[in-house]
């Protein structure tokens, strides 16, 4: 039941739609930067070298996985397709980014801190828990009923554990990353 002080569900669905589009398309573009060098990105070769410097070997393989994870999760989120799958993938990628690149720099993005991956990760959890809404492919294809709370929490747990497992594969870099 929606409390009477909250706008009708169509307003909530519009809010979810806007949030999905913004978060989804931005993270998909972030993946395209890594994968294709689009939007001012460095492309897979340079991103692979950076991942290698971070201790992810082979760097190109890990960079490809991260780029595809961002691109796929962003598109799934933007389209509202496959419920919590896109958010769970995004959560996994953001756990790795926060811990391997940003953690040592503090909180705020101005010092390359964890602010941005924390925001994306939080948005992923919120969008998974909120569901795709009426203006989504899941609603159009009648898939929304498949995303029970247990499935949603399970997907998010898999995403978080996947990110932690990825970090466990990391070898500490031998040279400082700038």
In tens digits, what is the pLDDT along the chain, a chain of 178 residues? 555 555 678 899 999 999 999 999 999 999 999 999 999 999 999 999 999 999 999 999 999 999 999 999 999 999 999 999 999 999 999 999 999 999 999 999 999 999 999 999 999 999 999 999 999 999 999 999 999 999 999 999 999 999 999 999 999 766 655 5
CA torsion 81-75-132-145 (nearest 10°) is 20
Please tell me the pTM assigned to this model: 0.91
For the chain, the domain total comes to: 1
C-alpha distance from residue 24 to each of 42, 107, 111, 146, 147 (Å) = 20, 23, 24, 21, 19
In a domain, residue 3? The reply is no
For residue 110, give its domain range.
Answer: 9-168
In a domain, residue 36? The reply is yes
Whole-angstrom distance, CA of residue 99 vs CA of residue 172:
12
- Minimal CA–CA distance to 170: which of 89, 54, 70? 54
H/E stretch holding 123: helix 115-130
In a domain, residue 175? The reply is no
How large is the greatest C-alpha to C-alpha distance in the chain, in angstroms? 58
Residue 32: CB atoms within 10 A of its CB come to 18
In a domain, residue 98? The reply is yes
In a domain, residue 176? The reply is no
């Amino acid at each position: 039941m929606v409390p009477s002080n909250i706008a009708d569900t169509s307003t909530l669905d519009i809010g979810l739609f806007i949030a999905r589009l913004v978060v989804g398309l931005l993270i998909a573009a972030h993946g395209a930067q890594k994968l294709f060098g689009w939007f001012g990105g460095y492309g897979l070769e340079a991103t692979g070298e950076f991942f290698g410097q971070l201790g992810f070997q082979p760097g190109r393989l890990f960079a490809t996985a991260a780029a595809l994870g961002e691109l796929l999760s962003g598109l799934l989120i933007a389209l509202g397709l496959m419920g919590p799958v896109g958010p769970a993938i995004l959560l996994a990628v953001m756990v790795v980014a926060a811990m391997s690149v940003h953690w040592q720099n503090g909180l705020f993005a101005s010092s390359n801190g964890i602010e941005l991956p924390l925001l994306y990760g939080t948005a992923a959890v919120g969008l998974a828990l909120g569901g795709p809404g009426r203006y989504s492919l899941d609603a159009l294809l009648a898939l929304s009923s498949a995303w029970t709370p247990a499935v949603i929490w399970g997907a998010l747990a898999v995403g978080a554990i996947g990110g932690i497992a990825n970090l466990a594969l990391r070898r500490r870099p031998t040279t400082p990353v700038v």
